[in-house]
Amino acid sequence: MAKVKGLKCKECGAEYPVEPIHVCEFCFGPLEIVYDYQEIKKNISREKIEKGPKSLWRYIDLLPVENPTVGLSAGFTPLIKAENLGKLLGLNNLYIKDDSVNHPTLSFKDRVVSVALSKAKEFGFDTAACASTGNLANSVAAHAASAGMNCYVFIPSNLETNKIIGSLVFNPVVVAVDGNYDDVNRLSSEIANEFGWAFVNINVRPFYSEGSKTLAFEVAEQLGWRIPDTVVAPLASGSLYTKIWKGFNELIEVGLVEGKPPRMLGAQAEGCSPIYQALKEGRDFIKPVKPNTIAKSIAIGNPADGPYAVKVAKESKGDIQIATDEEIIEGIKLLAKTEGIFTETAGGTTIAVLKKFAEAGIIHKDEVVVAYITGNGYKTMEVLEGKLEKPIHIKPSLIEFKEKVIGKNVKVGG
Amino acid sequence: MHSMKLKLIYPEEKIKEPILSKVCKNFNVDINIRKANVQEKIGWLELEFIGDEVEIEKAINLLVENGVEVLPIEGQVFIE
């Protein structure tokens, strides 16, 4: 028996075979992978996983891929005990899952893209595509290059090209579309449905999003095969948040860990918080918003998995909080100065919200808490311009050094 | 024959206007509504447009000109 039974509509439950499809023909709901956990349980063990590759592919038994060929080094990023930040927040067991050093393009997207393009190759696709200027485009372009696939990246034409240098270097075909974001969204959907391409977050999305489960698998293994009490993760489309939840539940289902799944705390930017708003207003549907935040990598105004994220927040007895742009910057700086990790705005949002939950006493001091850091700050350094300490200017004179530096900064030489 | 699965989101002030009816009357496009939520302050529909590519494009333009947000069924695909 195969580990994957097929695809199933998350709304009406209609079943489909394993194909590069993503929308239910009956109700237009999104499709999700259905596994045969009884079958998986027979083949999976902690020992087998521990002997596997040092990448997300050690969890292949719980991924919808038979033969991984793309992104063989993605995943298995560090889980760091955050002693300094923990002390500051009054948390004795705080951990950082650090996907800012994911390989090869320094964000959690390397996980989802590895799974999406490995599956795409199994389906026989020779072309990868996405619509992005950021982490997603970086990852798709890099993985397509190494896999020998053609690659198309779609962007609105009014964006400066220097924003996409990190993708252009991999030599994809970049298509600048005359139009706004909605025009790019619609055109991408049409292309994905018309051409035999793997458009990562459209027609191979059910496979793509499964890659995020490995964020749960790795954390459990790195904690010595246990589930944290609470996790804090950013919410953009809501996919990562719901798949981390699914990942922990699967580990319990197949008997790799005992206990209950974690409480899911979520973080959104105040300037783009449709999932937070739905939860607070008790709605089971999302009211789309126009994003207005520095946290561009999580600025999704109409999140596809928003309703499912609300459901997970409730089911796990979790919550979602928001952070202002200023708090996001402070979050970036706080993680950097306490743990030496430079994250981008999504990570800043997560840390800012972690701080709020800790200060409000929502997280108990002895809970095992994992905060997910999903991207690298070196990609978007411009958000910190004017927000950091300036250098101390001195003449090349020892007297001036003593006066202006030592005299001013008691830490130095102290 | 071309088809497009779309999500139409109406701003609050446009909910009472018969915009979709204008689309039906002006363009040769079949409209197949699958899901909808129209209330006092919320209005969205998930539907399929079936017809000639040019006619569908004209229909979308009319909706956009009338203030309706027209997204693919997948929601926001573009990610910064």
The SS3 of residue A293 is coil
* Residue A413 banded pLDDT, cuts 50, 70, 90: very low
* Closest CB from B6, B9, B78 relative to A181: B78
The beta strand positions in A10-110, using DSSP E, are 15-16, 31-35, 79-81, 93-98
Q: Nearest CA of chain B to the CA of A137: how many Å?
A: 9
* Backbone torsions φ then ψ of A185, nearest 5 degrees: -60, -50
| Per-residue pLDDT tens over the stretch A6-48 | 999 999 999 999 999 999 999 999 999 999 999 999 999 999 9
Asked whether the predicted pLDDT for residue A409 surpasses 70, the reply is no
The beta strand positions in A222-317, using DSSP E, are 230-234, 263-269
* CB neighbour class for A322 (10 Å; exposed up to 12, middle 13-18, buried from 19): buried
Inter-residue contact A241 to B79 (CB < 8 Å)? no
Q: Nearest CA of chain A to the CA of B3: how many Å?
A: 9
| Per-residue pLDDT tens over the stretch B35-74 | 999 988 889 999 999 999 999 999 999 999 999 999 999 9
Q: How many A×B Cβ pairs under 8 Å? A: 94
Q: Nearest CA of chain B to the CA of A101: how many Å?
A: 19
Asked whether the predicted pLDDT for residue A49 surpasses 70, the reply is yes
Mean per-residue pLDDT of chain A: 95
Torsion-angle region of A289 (φ positive above 0: left; ψ -120 to 50: alpha; else: beta): beta
Longest dimension (CA), chain A: 79
Closest CA to A391 of A383, A382, A381, A401: A401
Residue given tokens 């194909």 in the structure block: A19
Closest CA to A75 of A53, A103, A97: A103
d(CA A260, CA B36): 36
Asked whether the predicted pLDDT for residue A396 surpasses 80, the reply is yes
Residue given tokens 């010595």 in the structure block: A224
Which segments of A64-104 does DSSP mark as H helices, in order? 83-89
Inter-residue contact A320 to A313 (CB < 8 Å)? yes
Q: What pLDDT is stored for residue A284 in this prediction? A: 85
Section A284-307 average pLDDT:
93
What is the DSSP code (8-state) at residue A344?
A: -
Which residues are registered as beta bridge partners of A371?
A96, A232
Cβ <8 Å between A182 and B69: yes
Give every CB contact of residue A326 below 8 A, 6+ residues apart in sequence.
none
Q: What pLDDT is stored for residue A160 in this prediction? A: 75
d(CA A311, CA A47): 34
Cβ <8 Å between B78 and A185: yes
Q: What pLDDT is stored for residue A414 in this prediction? A: 41
What is the DSSP code (8-state) at residue A403?
A: I
For chain B, domain boundaries: 2-72
Q: Nearest CA of chain A to the CA of B25: how many Å?
A: 23
| Per-residue pLDDT tens over the stretch A167-222 | 999 999 999 999 888 899 999 999 998 998 999 999 999 999 999 999 999 999 99
CA angle A404, A407, A411 (to 5 degrees): 110
CATH superfamily ID and name for B2-72 = ACT domain (3.30.70.260)
Give every CB contact of residue A405 below 8 A, 6+ residues apart in sequence.
A392, A394, A412
Cβ <8 Å between A304 and B74: yes
* Closest CB from B9, B34, B77 relative to A28: B34
Closest Cα in chain B to A346: B80
| Per-residue pLDDT tens over the stretch A253-278 | 999 999 999 999 999 999 999 999 99
d(CA A35, CA A251): 13
Tokens, residue A164: 């996409």
* Residue A162 banded pLDDT, cuts 50, 70, 90: confident
Inter-residue contact A102 to A75 (CB < 8 Å)? yes
First to last CA, chain B: 33
d(CA B7, CA A224): 45
d(CA A12, CA A23): 11
Give every CB contact of residue A71 below 8 A, 6+ residues apart in sequence.
A55, A56, A110, A111, A113, A114, A115, A117, A118, A143
| Per-residue pLDDT tens over the stretch A71-108 | 999 999 999 999 999 999 999 999 999 999 999 999 99
* Closest CB from B37, B64, B80 relative to A297: B80
* CB neighbour class for B1 (10 Å; exposed up to 12, middle 13-18, buried from 19): exposed
Q: What pLDDT is stored for residue A69 in this prediction? A: 98
Inter-residue contact A214 to A234 (CB < 8 Å)? no
Asked whether the predicted pLDDT for residue A159 surpasses 90, the reply is no
| Per-residue pLDDT tens over the stretch A234-243 | 999 999 999 9
| B-contacting residues in A 59-118 (Cβ below 8 Å) | none
Cβ-based contacts of B5 with chain A (< 8 Å): 23, 28, 189
Q: What pLDDT is stored for residue B40 in this prediction? A: 86
Asked if A307 is an interface residue toward chain B (Cβ–Cβ < 8 A), one would say no
Asked whether the predicted pLDDT for residue A410 surpasses 80, the reply is no
ipTM of this complex: 0.92
* Backbone torsions φ then ψ of A174, nearest 5 degrees: -100, 125
Q: Nearest CA of chain B to the CA of A55: how many Å?
A: 25
